[in-house]
Structure 1
Amino acid sequence: MAMAGGVSIRLPLKGGYLYSEGGIHSPDGHCRAFDANAKGTVSGSGVGIVVLKRLEDALNDNDTIDAIIKGSAINNDGTVKVSYSAPSIEGQAKANASAQIMAEVEPENITYIEAHGTGTPLGEPIEVAALTQVFAAKTEDKNFCALGAVKTNIGHLDAAAGVAGLIKTILALKHQLIPPSLNFEQPNPQIDFENSPFYVNTKPSVWSKDNNTPRCSGVSSFGMGGTNAHVIVEEAPPLQVNKGAGEQGRKYNLLVLSAKTESAIETATNNLVEYLKQHPEINLADVAYTLQVGRRPFNYRRILVCENDRDAIEAFSNKDTSRVTTGFYSVRDREIVFMFPGQGTQYADMGKELYQSEPVLKTRSIAVRNCSNLY
């Protein structure tokens, strides 16, 4: 597993900039990617981090997968451009094509491109020309692939610009919705959208797909010195819905809530009930794990052992005191003891189900046997 991303913080955070005609900055503080009035970009601050893991390992570990990076490519224009800061059609086209080849994805299956989209007069015509060159080599379809640029929302984040576009695209795939690219009114006259596979998406659009083809997108990020990077991102595989108790790895789950006051514990309970109602597809084992491990414990506590989400909703809603235990816990050192009631309530195989369903008990069985040998 690896973490990758970028950070760019400009100080002072609310500082402006001095506009210079012919420079990269916008004269009016707006980034107008692909628009006829595009005259420059704006700067921004941000941090973006993604967690990367081999798909096979993530599936085996039952991780939450937001998207799949199918392929990537990076190159540099070198001397094949008019100046140090000028982009190159040839270099961008090679990066785009190489990423598609690595991903084993055909252009007609890519229905969204998160463009570099700085809003400069020179940048977008070259970027769209490079994309058109690659797509036109494999398909003659027109206006099927949406274009967008997150820089119209948050500005150019410099070292964090690429990961910002990647995260935006991952969220779009996750929600199956293509967000609009802002500040677009009239197309740049140097871009022939009508005869290209592309169009600028100007409103939230449902990201439709063919039943047998996963949603797929491309994300571009370019450096001023001629570095071109492109990744192909595909939607995550369908979740295996684990609604049955047996499919969740164990028959019962322990839900743990805590709060600082009595009223807060009631609010936390109600919030959990509403969440379970709104997300019937949720794996209850994941909920139990997060409540136990991902939350700081407070003094007022409530627990419930339940079989599934419906069982949890019913018990919490009805305030079933025979099952829902609530109490106040004061922090103090406690000794751990192993107690045997010794009143004849034991019976053969009484711990068998617990042993079979709880792996931790198997790992501790030797200690348990050693303890029992003392009596």
Structure 2
Amino acid sequence: MHESDSTKSPTVPEPIAVIGMSCRLAQVKDPRAFWHMLREQRHGITEVPEDRWGPWADDLAETGARLGGFVDDVDHFDASFFGISPREAEMMDPQQRLTLELGWEALEDARLTPAALGRNRTGVFVGAISGDHAALVLRGGPALITQHTMTGVERGLIANRLSYHLDLHGPSMTVDAAQASSLVAVHVAVESLRSGECDVALAGGVHLNLSPESALAAARFGGLSPDGRSYTFDARANGFVRGEGGGLVLLKPLSRALEDGDHVYCVIRGSAVNNDGASEGLTRPDTDAQEEVLRHAYRRAGVDPSTVAYVELHGTGTPLGDPIEAAALGAAFGPAEQREGPLLVGSAKTNVGHLEGAAGITGLIKAALSIKHGELPASLNFEQPNPEIPFTELNLRVVREATAWPGSEGPRRAGVSAFGMGGTNCHVVLEQAPASTEAENDPAPVQEDPAPPVIPLLVSARDTDALSELATRLTDLTDHLPQDRDLTDLATALTTTRTLFEHRAVALTTDPTHATHTLTALANHQPHPDLVTGTADLTGPIAFVFPGQGSQWTGMAAQLLDTSPVFAQTMRACADALAPHIDWNLHDAVR
């Protein structure tokens, strides 16, 4: 490799904004919970659920497959929410069902509704490699095959079903590039956005370990850690531990995101994909190919690698893979004299296991959260450096404890790597969101008011149980909201950026503590003086009628007409609508 390989590209494509995200991981239900796990240095590795392997349990008891990062209740799914019949839902790959849930949650996180997207060109790109559900269904023989089997087991439907149920008309594809799949899906989504093929994109991956056959295959392949821990870059590195779950990010060109006032976690500056080619073995990583994909990603991004503080590793914790990945990083990111300090590295696999087809998106979400919060969580299980990795020579350092983002000049930058066992390598370059969006994301505390306003928090769901569950989730949010921060932003988001369903409740609140108490009552199906519940009729439009019973006076709206552009514009629209039906002027009447 030559030094010129790392120079900036003459034309740098527009950054892509990450405006929403969702994830479901071992003992983690959303990005907020994932961040708490990372900061608290916890992991989600447990014994396999009792109902997972069935009669194969004895065969797997003495292998690394007995431990893993398992998602709770993979068999639970609210089919009616998506308008799916129980019979069809039963035959659907749980990865399809999980993708539907993650897609909806990513839109909500971005404060968008499916209706807001309309029939625009929204793309869906989902990495997935597991065929466990198909194996289980087909193992049952002809009696289990129904009219829903084909759509239930086809892997392409993982992405297509999300496009169908949200009425999204952009590209829709399931990407299989082995363990690099979900990060490659992000790369493809970025390229689709930059080419104008789609306007918005959902990208990521899902992976569930449902079949004992696939668990035994992984064990006999020889890559699993016998003690169920990933010792990434540690001297004890002895294999990976399987994880499951998934994640999606919602992407939009940065210029559009800024114009629309979107919340931006970070931006994707560039990415690259390649393959090892005819290396020393089909499943053996190749240092040169990994180095080249890193250099290519930073050339395309127009980013000097020496300005990157952190890389989220593929980091499987295998004796073979870790030293190869370290050597490629050291070569691509330059010697010590070109950097302010060593390149910091870590791996989310030490927390939630190796999600295989969804491994890359897990690492990307971790890196995006780290950039947003300006903090690097510890990479677990690192005590003694791997003697096969010359850390000082390569100028690398594993993050052993939570630390503030290093450096003070320039935007925070990080890289994310994912490598497939067949030689596909992918790297994505992330950067801190522009300062203007960060200011919007963290508004200044409101001034104290001796008489705080009453703020309505509107909660809606398909049924009362879902209403209760949503209230529980909201209490976690309000419980951590500072007392000097009002609830207006939350109230606005609940009313204008979520799909409104028929079962509803309104919590009338004045501060975060009061909101928590009121929402707790709703969560527990209990009455509260500041809580109103009911069922809305969604069959017709809403009309506001002012009967004139109360204290009114001539000209009471005149000041609003002069001072509020929104009110004046609405009054003009009303006057124009009434004009054909009346012989008087609305503006003259209110003045």
Q: 2:426 aligned to 219, 229, 252, which one?
A: 229
Instruction: Give the match for residue 401 of structure 2.
Output: 203
CA distance in 2, matches of 1:283, 1:138: 48
Counterpart among 303, 307, 311 of residue 113 in structure 1: 311
- Following superposition, the deviation at residue 182 of structure 1 comes to 1.3
Overall identity of the aligned pairs, in %:
34
The counterpart of 2:381, out of the listed 175, 183, 187, is 183
* 2:287 is aligned with 1:84: no
**Structure 1's 115 and 300: CA in aligned 2 closer, same or farther, altered over 3 A?**
closer
**Residue correspondence of structure 1 range 297-308 to structure 2 within 5 A:** 301=506
- Give, in whole Å, the separation in 2 of the partners of 1:273 and 1:356: 33
Q: Deviations over 1:288-340 (max 9, x none)?
A: 32232437676764558xxxxxxx659x89xxxxxx99867676799846446
SS at match of 1:240: helix
Deviation at residue 367 of structure 1 after TM alignment: 2.1
Counterpart for residue 25 of structure 1? 224
CA distance in 1, matches of 2:474, 2:419: 48
| Structure 1 pair 123–362 and aligned structure 2 pair: CA distance change class (3 A) | farther
**What is the match of residue 548 of structure 2?**
341
Task: Assess if the C-alpha contact under 8 Å between 1:88 and 1:126 holds in 2.
Answer: yes
Check whether the contact 1:355–1:361 (CA below 8 A) recurs between aligned residues: no
Determine if contact 1:221/1:229 at 8 Å carries over to the other structure: yes
Match of 1:249 in 2: none
Matched, 1:219 2:416: yes
Distance 2:349 2:228 in 1: 12
Aligned residues of 2:458 and 2:494 also touching (Cα < 8 A): no
Q: Name which of 265, 270, 283 aligns with 1:71.
A: 270
Following superposition, the deviation at residue 197 of structure 1 comes to 2.2
From the two aligned structures, give the one with the greater helix fraction.
2
- The CA distance in 1 between the partners of 2:541 and 2:245, in whole Å, is 46
- Pick from 289, 297, 314 the counterpart of residue 492 of structure 2: 289
Q: Is the 8 A contact 1:255 1:291 kept in 2?
A: no
Query: Is 1:255 aligned with 2:455?
Result: yes
C-alpha root-mean-square deviation of aligned residues, in Å?
4.0
CA distance in 1, matches of 2:566, 2:579: 18
Deviation at 1:27, TM superposition (A): 2.0
Q: Distance in 1 between matches of 2:564 and 2:533?
A: 30
Q: TM-score normalised to the size of structure 1?
A: 0.77
CA distance in structure 2 between the aligned counterparts of 1:268 and 1:17, rounded to whole angstroms: 37
Residue 357 of structure 1 deviates from its aligned partner by: 2.6
The separation in 2 between residues aligned to 1:32 and 1:64, in whole angstroms, is: 35
Change (3 A) 1:272 1:4: closer
CA apart distance, 1:354: 7.5
Larger Rg: 1
CA contact (8 A) 2:455 2:487 kept: no
Distance 2:542 2:381 in 1: 65
2:567 pairs with 1:367: no
Verify the 8 A CA contact 1:141 1:197 in the aligned structure 2. no
Contact 1:257 1:269 in 2 (8 A): no
Moved more, 43-52 or 325-334: 325-334
In structure 1, C-alpha distance between the alignment counterparts of 2:322 and 2:495, rounded to whole Å? 49
Query: Do the aligned partners of residues 288 and 337 (structure 1) sit closer, same or farther apart at CA in structure 2, a change above 3 Å counting?
Result: closer
Deviation at 1:183? 1.3
Match of 1:357 in 2: 566
Question: 2:203 corresponds to which letter in structure 1?
Answer: A
Contact kept? 2:483, 2:511, Cα under 8 Å: no
C-alpha change, 1:193 and 1:143, in structure 2 (3 Å) is: farther
Structure 2 stretches lacking a partner, 5+ long: 1-199, 447-452, 516-528, 586-591
Q: For the structure 1 residues 268 and 9, does the alpha-carbon distance in structure 2 shift closer, same or farther, using more than 3 Å as the test?
A: closer
